[in-house]
Structure 1
């Protein structure tokens, strides 16, 4: 039996999580992108080391959700799969743009630092939006994340010389071989901004002590 596929356009509501309301004292805004199988409400807890008075932390969430266990109790989210990949990328960019503009418009001060953090699967999602939107970037932290193969260092020429790009990876991360770490390092070193590669003792997770050290070392906390 033959079959055809067609699409219809619909409008959906998608959530995001943040720590506190913005005020005139807000100095930094953070946009967080979780890894595969995680949820924004859990992921944002890693960033409770930031002062909520001066740091407005926003956790975005993958648009696809699923059960993680056989008892159908634990739920996780995913940014995309290979199925209808191009459509998912379009939907992600629209969602990210809406969240970013929503939060930036809520901040009274125009002199706010704009920081981005992506872990694992969230990295490619964030980078595709960054290249497309080319926003102001004060700090970009990629943690055990891959860089989409379609990009070259020139695609990130919108970053200023003062932008900070930090790549973090655990020395026992089981995904190191898939990520081609040496190529990633070389890619990041070619960016026309301030860059650093950080390795810590650990696996595929956002290690809280390492996170705190990275933020302190770059005056982001």
Structure 2
């Protein structure tokens, strides 16, 4: 007989700096498969400022990247107990972002960037979070294939949606692009598409255009 139990769990995350709770915007940056938040947040270092707080949560599943020793990476889920992992991710991200927003007298803009596997994780969570996402950036990934489009339509009604792909990304296939096209059509909302010459990675120039753009 399979049973389940919930218990208190400790999860790790990293900040760009000690918050003053007077920042104008928060960037929740969600890493990809096999990465660690400590190193992922460093990729945004050139954009750290007193008016902008970066929060990098870390996936709660860990594995050795090669064999049974050496470098360790985190991930947001595998196919095993997938639905449970999704619900755990939602509770983690809810608790994390809400714990910071509670300290702000003036609500900052909330921006979310999901990279690779983190893109699907970000879209699932952002579509059901009770708050409003100002900008959602999906980088080297896309909308979750099982996204509830009716729910997402309402959640993203006032959200700027940006899809970023590297022209040499070996993990992006024509099939995955077609699937994204179909999901975007189902959303019925304009999505900004940006491309760069690199592969499965963040690009500083494109990041600069996104983070510093005027709304």
TM score, norm. by length of structure 2: 0.89
1:116 maps to which residue? Answer: 112
1:141, 1:168 within 8 Å by CA — same for their partners in 2? yes
2:14 maps to which residue? Answer: 17
Equivalents in 2 of 1:100, 1:65: separation in Å? 22
1:127 maps to which residue? Answer: 123
Equivalents in 2 of 1:189, 1:214: separation in Å? 23
Equivalents in 2 of 1:90, 1:24: separation in Å? 28
Equivalents in 1 of 2:174, 2:44: separation in Å? 27
Q: Structure 1 residue aligned with 2:83, among 67, 83, 86?
A: 86
Equivalents in 1 of 2:183, 2:16: separation in Å? 33
Structure 1 pair 28–12 and aligned structure 2 pair: CA distance change class (3 A)? same
1:177 maps to which residue? Answer: 173
Residue 70 of structure 1 deviates from its aligned partner by 4.6
Question: Gapped runs of 5+ residues in structure 2?
Answer: none
Equivalents in 2 of 1:97, 1:152: separation in Å? 18
1:219 aligns with 2:214: yes
Equivalents in 2 of 1:70, 1:185: separation in Å? 37
Q: Structure 2 residue aligned with 1:65, among 62, 65, 80?
A: 62
Q: Structure 2 residue aligned with 1:142, among 138, 141, 154?
A: 138
Q: How many residues align?
A: 214
Q: Structure 1 residue aligned with 2:37, among 37, 40, 52?
A: 40
Q: Which moved more, 1:73-82 or 1:128-137?
A: 128-137
Mapping 1:193-204, distance limit 5 Å: 195-204=191-200
Question: Gapped runs of 5+ residues in structure 1?
Answer: none
Q: Deviations over 1:23-50 (max 9, x none)?
A: 2541010111100000001000111122
Structure 1 pair 11–51 and aligned structure 2 pair: CA distance change class (3 A)? closer
Residue 190 of structure 1 deviates from its aligned partner by 5.8
Structure 1 pair 119–188 and aligned structure 2 pair: CA distance change class (3 A)? same
TM score, norm. by length of structure 1: 0.86
2:47 maps to which residue? Answer: 50
Equivalents in 2 of 1:63, 1:137: separation in Å? 23
Equivalents in 1 of 2:69, 2:175: separation in Å? 31
SS of the counterpart of 1:49?
Answer: helix
Equivalents in 2 of 1:198, 1:185: separation in Å? 14
1:207 aligns with 2:203: yes
1:185, 1:197 within 8 Å by CA — same for their partners in 2? no
Residue 86 of structure 1 deviates from its aligned partner by 1.1
